[in-house]
Amino acid sequence: MKKKDFFSPSFLMSYQKCPYAAVNNVFTSNDYTKFGELVHTLAEDYYQKPFDLTTVNTEELLKSKEIYNGKFKKKIKNVIENIPNFSTEGYEVFDIESRNTPKEYVHEFFNKRFMAVKLMSNGCGLRGAIDMLLKNDKEFKIIDFKSGSSKPDPFQVHLYGIMCAFAYKIMPEDMKMSCEFWMLESGKVHTYDITSELLEFNYQKFKDIVEEYNESFSLGEFKKTPSFKSCMFCKCACFEGRSYQSNFGESKTVSGY
């Protein structure tokens, strides 16, 4: 296993839940993750060059990701109805998927562009693809497209803020900074203001996680912290065979592999 130098916000979020699962990448792909990839691409394409979303063949779109569960037909319909309702009025679409990021902060991986910033003297840093940046003379907005309904984690917000502060040389003292999570299926927007104090707090949190990761890597052992939420789509089978009550009142069993 190669030691990481750059950490994505999604990796750090997973690492907090279960270091072993995050490091060994044991989460399984499922219809929800595939749906998330699909609607992210749809939103990115639309905001780069708006087009008539009603012309999209939703059945073919779902088939392209091998999603055959019928409930996703309603979900994709809601997404298509909602995407044009999120407003960029009054803002320049400053960047989509790191295409305008200064070259020294760009990392290309599998033909995809990521923002990458070194934050520590040992060369460790953050890497990730921010969905979209909006900017005017007074405000800098980080936009994250969300396909699900889970409430965003403030730690993720400020990891994005840290990346942008380094890459674009901008701080909350210079202009208002915020992060908006656009919930594509429900049409809701969750807004978080980014402050210098919170950037400092979460920068320290980032360093603490990296130091724990480096220590665990040196020891060759990462902790398993099983819980229903973190194990639901995991191959480790820590919760295999344990039954639970689903949101729909059905009796389910965590299956593991």
Least confident of 15-19, 114-118, 134-138, 182-186: 114-118
Which of 77-81, 145-149, 188-192, 236-240 comes out lowest in average pLDDT? 236-240
Q: Percentage of the chain with pLDDT > 70?
A: 84
Looking at per-residue confidence, does 167 or 97 come out higher?
167
pLDDT digits (tens, 9 = 90+) for 186-217: 999 999 999 999 999 999 999 999 999 999 99
Q: Across residues 91-118, what is the average pLDDT?
A: 73
Percent of the chain at pLDDT > 90 equals 57
Per-residue pLDDT at 244: 38
Q: Has residue 251 got a pLDDT over 70?
A: no
**Is the per-residue pLDDT at 43 higher than 70?**
yes
- The secondary structure element, H or E, covering residue 253 is strand 251-253
Q: How confident is the model at residue 237 (pLDDT cuts 50, 70, 90)?
A: low
* Edge-to-edge order in the sheet of strand 125-128: 6-7, 125-128, 112-118, 106-109
Please, what is the average pLDDT of the chain?
85
Q: Is the pLDDT of residue 143 over 50?
A: yes
Q: Quick one: pLDDT band at residue 29, thresholds 50, 70, 90? A: confident
Looking at residue 184, what is its pLDDT? 96
pLDDT of residue 48: 86
Residue 226: what pLDDT?
Answer: 78
CATH match for 6-219 among 1.10.3470, 3.90.1150, 3.90.320, 2.70.98: 3.90.320
Question: What is residue 36's predicted lDDT score, i.e. its pLDDT?
Answer: 93
Question: Cβ(135)–Cβ(88) under 8 Å?
Answer: no
What is the rounded average pLDDT of the residues 69-92?
Answer: 94
3-state DSSP call for residue 116? strand
φ, ψ dihedrals at 52, nearest 5°: -75, 105
β-bridge pairing 139-146 and 176-183: parallel
If we measure between CA atoms, which residue out of 139, 115, 133 comes closest to residue 9? 115
CA–CA separation, 163 and 101 (whole Å): 11
Please state the pTM of the whole predicted model.
0.83
